[in-house]
Amino acid sequence: MGGRPPSDRSLAVVTESVRVGTRKSALALRQTELVVSALRREASETRFLVVPITTQGDRSRSPSQDLDFTDAIDRALEEGRIDLAVHSTKDLPARPTRAVSIAAFPRRADPRDCLVLRDARGLRSLPPRSRIGSSSPRRRAQLWRARRDLDVVEIRGNVDTRLALVRGGRVDGVILAAAGLRRIGRWDEVTEVLDRRRFLPAPGQGALAVATRASDRALESLVRPLDDRKTRAAVTAERTFVERIGGDCDTPLGALATVRGNRLTLRAEILSPDGRRSVGGARSGAPSSARALGGLLARDLLRAGAESFLAEPPPA
């Protein structure tokens, strides 16, 4: 699978059987099923084999360690043990390796966060000191900003594990991505969808990414029809913002870009870990200037004082 532009004949040979790597969680497998189904419509004669892989993020449950949900998958891709990889875009590092190329960002699903609560009807009706579970610094800061009296507690595990904590009474609620709950058929458990203007989601949330080896032109051509122009522009702006701001998974920041006609609008914010302070802003322009807009907005927020939040320790 070299880097030469393939002929029609070589493309058929290369794509006769394709191994698709993904995490082992129910959500990751479901997301991969969606991608594989779309690929089969594009290449009905190709055989696609799903290869579940355990990542560092799946092995570690320690809050003190950075969780990496892409490490082992990208390594398997680079080493040729799989041919494609399906990721949740929000899990991808802002700076991917040169050996891996994102061949397609399929059309994005709902990017918003939502609450699953045991008893209350919504965020406003939660009693003081209610225990809401989340491992995300962004979600924790945004919840504290909205309700200073909530007890936001650290939890780990996949979506099913987190929902079980609510049913079992270990927590009063959890905050999760709307797209994931829809994809695994658990939407009926949602109590409230959070306003994305107040709860800006994680960069890339709701979007999937299909990766190939950067040298594999044949598979890149196979995957390319799944790429959605608006989604690519939006997540490019969001991911560039994260890269230029110097953020990572431990930074309480949100970013969301939307494309309306020939206009892309990127909104982003960085919060202090306790949610008491925040700096936000927006930039708009043509979708073709997505990277530039992400860089400009990062510069705006850094000049407005966001840099002081980046090194601030989490609340005790």
How far CA 1 is from CA of 122, 156, 225, in Å, comes to 52, 39, 20
**231 vs 273: CA distance, rounded Å:** 29
How far CA 62 is from CA of 41, 65, 155, 177, 274, in Å, comes to 41, 6, 10, 21, 21
pLDDT of 56 reads 57
Q: Determine the CATH number of domain 8-107+207-227.
A: 3.40.190.10
What is the pTM (predicted TM-score) of this model? 0.89
pLDDT of 15 reads 53
Fold matches, 8-107+207-227 and 238-310: no
* pLDDT by position in tens, the chain (length 316): 333 344 343 444 445 799 999 999 999 999 999 999 999 999 999 999 999 998 654 444 444 444 466 888 989 999 999 999 999 999 988 777 778 999 999 999 999 999 999 998 999 999 999 999 999 999 999 999 999 999 999 998 889 999 999 999 999 999 999 999 999 999 999 999 999 999 999 999 999 999 999 999 999 999 999 999 999 999 999 999 999 998 887 889 999 999 999 999 999 999 999 999 999 999 999 999 999 999 999 999 999 998 888 777 777 6
**Which residues are tagged catalytic?**
91
Q: Return the CATH fold of 238-310.
A: Double Stranded RNA Binding Domain (3.30.160)
pLDDT of 8 reads 43
Domain limits of the chain? 8-107+207-227, 113-193, 238-310
Backbone angles phi, psi at 201, to 5 degrees: -75, 175
pLDDT of 68 reads 61
Looking at domain 113-193, which of 3.30.2080.10, 3.40.50.300, 3.90.1150.10, 3.40.190.10 is its CATH number?
3.40.190.10
pLDDT of 245 reads 93
pLDDT of 55 reads 66
